[in-house]
Structure 1
Amino acid sequence: MNDGGDMKMRLIATDLDGTLLNEKHEISKENADAIQKAKDAGVEIMVATGRSYNAAKKPLDKVGLTCPIICLNGAKIYNKEGQIISTAPLEINSCKSIQHTCQKEGMYFELFTNKGGFSESRDKFLEVMVDIAATANPDIDEETIRSRASERFQEEEIKITNDFEALFNQPDIEVYKILAFSLQEQQLSNVYHQLKTNGQLAITSSGESNLEFNHPDAQKGIALEGFAKQAGIDMKDVMAIGGDNYNDVSMLKMAGRGVAMGNANDEIKKLADFTTTSNLDNGVAHAIEEMLSEIQKGK
């Protein structure tokens, strides 16, 4: 936690889903204005997300925000000009282990690579989600259920493949993240426990129904620290905002000022230095305003 008379802030890193984005998956005017206020005060802004670069840029473009982006949980870092400055791909043997384990457990998964996103079929898994949700909620109409189920997927472009072996055998393939979904807690638990001892994997989650697999170096905190070091910024002068899910924990712990969202769970809030309001109540704006106010008061 960064306090004392010499407090300054040079970089703010914010998560997207459940943090900077509201329930419409958009950046509110309040959040956009606060970000501009921080930039006017000489603070650099960056995004740190589990999304791919293109999916991360969509809500940023809507409010005219151009900034560096840590994407796929830290597997790729882009500068504000959109150039890749760092990558941390998975080992291919680890990818094969994830594929085989997920398929054995009947669990749907998606790959994010240097050649785009791949899965067997989103539509097939969507139907499974709709059936389960409809059984559990017989009073809700199918259109509403389908809409809610679709929201489980982030805005990613996914190609269909049934031949992962051929994909993994391509000599120039790089896999940055594998995202596995299940609505059954036992499936998630089985896959996690079978793969947690693999030293070449970092396993996190960005929601109650998924597991995210990355290289151990592909974590938001490590990526943020690497970016800050390259920019000549000390981590004590970095504020990280997030914590709605566990893939934010590393950056909240490593930043000088870690801010958990009001919609984060209590365990994550305890790891942060501060807690702001929820993403539905412009939590990022509140966090930025509070930080700027403290600096002005010389706290």
Structure 2
Amino acid sequence: MIKLIASDMDGTLLDLELNITQENINAIRYAEAHGIEFMVATGRNRAEALPPLEKAGINCAMITLNGAHVFDKEGNSLFTTPLDKSEVFQIFDILDEHGIYYEISTQIGTFTNSKESRIEHFTTHIIDAFPHLTQKAAIAMTVAHLEFFPVDVAPDLRELVKQPNTEILKVICFDKRGPEFLGPAAKEIAKFEDCVVTSSGANNIEINHKHAQKGIAVSHVAKERNIDLENVMTIGDNLNDLSMIQVAGVSFAMGNAVVELHEEAKYVTHENMNSGVGKAIVRAIDENL
């Protein structure tokens, strides 16, 4: 019997307008009525994850930054898994050499060295994630994103990393040239002993500590709650969801998921625009998956 459900957000729980549909909300309530805990596991930081959840009236624990920072439902920080700073500087060297834009997420927020570059590259990421949008609409969404979830500007990210109290939880990179240019840098970084490289879209890569993965975080949360992984359900759509798809006893790939998730997940549900999360939850409960 399922006792814990962990769902990705972008491309999964959220629809094309970045909201949680009523069908998804109803299914989460249905799960809670059956004594099943629902939580999100996202690449977003907590500040970015909160608004759509609060709008939907959902208060839950969160795995954020791909597993690098975990919070309980009251918003208390449970643990962080930061990158090794010596490797962070090497990562910067590689990204600079390849001319790739990047920003860093820390325990106190996300930082860029250029808000203009952030808008340019994040717009490309939005278009990749939501191909129905026009360039103008994508730019508007990016600017709105910055208004609601401000990114701090640090002209020299290396100096920020040097600060003794700063934890680097994720390095996220965007490049409109896509995998052809991101791939070589990703391969170099993946060779580092303590790094794992994932992606949440064709035009980005995300770098975390090898122990900061959604699957590891889900396993940790389940252990803390004395829940066997066979009684855990996970739902996702992209490569940064792969580790939690692989560890769960019940796993769903979204209909819009990448091929790798379709190959690894035990089940496939509908697309995010058609409340695939809600349909998966109801199916799992009603069929006792």
Residue 284 (structure 2) aligns with: 291
**Residue of 44, 47, 71 corresponding to 2:40:** 47
Q: Residue 110 of structure 2 contacts residue 152 of structure 2 at CA under 8 Å; is this kept in 1?
A: yes
> Higher mean Cα deviation, 100-109 or 201-210?
100-109
How far apart are 1:97 and its partner, in Å? Answer: 1.3
How far apart are 1:162 and its partner, in Å? Answer: 1.9
Residue 274 (structure 1) aligns with: 267
Amino-acid identity (%): 36
The CA distance in 1 between the partners of 2:115 and 2:68, in whole Å, is 23
1:118 match: secondary structure: strand
**Structure 1 residue 160 and structure 2 residue 153: aligned?**
yes
The CA distance in 2 between the partners of 1:141 and 1:261, in whole Å, is 24
> Higher mean Cα deviation, 161-170 or 23-32?
161-170
Alignment deviations for residues 186-207 of structure 1 (CA, whole Å, 9 cap, x no partner): 3202211221210110100011
Q: Residue 270 of structure 2 contacts residue 279 of structure 2 at CA under 8 Å; is this kept in 1?
A: yes
Q: Residue 239 of structure 2 contacts residue 260 of structure 2 at CA under 8 Å; is this kept in 1?
A: no
> Higher mean Cα deviation, 95-104 or 200-209?
95-104
**Structure 1 residue 213 and structure 2 residue 204: aligned?**
no
How far apart are 1:65 and its partner, in Å? Answer: 0.5
Unaligned segments of structure 2, at least 5 residues: 127-132
How far apart are 1:116 and its partner, in Å? Answer: 1.6
Residue 185 (structure 2) aligns with: 191
**Structure 1 residue 227 and structure 2 residue 221: aligned?**
yes
2:287 match: secondary structure: helix
Count of residue pairs brought into register by the alignment: 281
**Structure 1 residue 22 and structure 2 residue 36: aligned?**
no
How far apart are 1:145 and its partner, in Å? Answer: 5.7
Alignment deviations for residues 255-287 of structure 1 (CA, whole Å, 9 cap, x no partner): 000100000123311100000000000001110
Residue 3 (structure 1) aligns with: none
Cα pair distance change 1:125/1:60, threshold 3 Å: closer
Residue 256 (structure 1) aligns with: 249
Question: Letter of the aligned partner of 1:170 in structure 2?
Answer: Q
How far apart are 1:164 and its partner, in Å? Answer: 2.0
Unaligned segments of structure 1, at least 5 residues: 1-7, 134-139
Residue 62 (structure 1) aligns with: 55
Question: How large is the Cα RMSD of the aligned pairs?
Answer: 2.3
Q: Residue 129 of structure 1 contacts residue 183 of structure 1 at CA under 8 Å; is this kept in 2?
A: no
Residue 105 (structure 2) aligns with: 112
The CA distance in 1 between the partners of 2:151 and 2:81, in whole Å, is 21
Q: Provide the TM-score with structure 2 as the length reference.
A: 0.91
Residue 35 (structure 1) aligns with: 28
The CA distance in 2 between the partners of 1:60 and 1:34, in whole Å, is 14
How far apart are 1:124 and its partner, in Å? Answer: 2.7
- Paired residues for 1:37-186 under 5 Å: 37-127=30-120, 143-144=136-137, 146-147=139-140, 156-184=149-177, 185-186=179-180
Larger Rg: 1
The CA distance in 2 between the partners of 1:128 and 1:246, in whole Å, is 20
How far apart are 1:158 and its partner, in Å? Answer: 1.1
How far apart are 1:130 and its partner, in Å? Answer: 7.2
1:239 match: secondary structure: strand
The CA distance in 2 between the partners of 1:229 and 1:143, in whole Å, is 46
**Residue of 2, 8, 12 corresponding to 1:9:** 2
1:111 match: secondary structure: strand
Cα pair distance change 1:288/1:75, threshold 3 Å: same
How far apart are 1:112 and its partner, in Å? Answer: 0.4
Cα pair distance change 1:99/1:279, threshold 3 Å: same
2:2 match: secondary structure: coil
The CA distance in 1 between the partners of 2:65 and 2:147, in whole Å, is 12
How far apart are 1:123 and its partner, in Å? Answer: 1.4
Cα pair distance change 1:241/1:53, threshold 3 Å: same
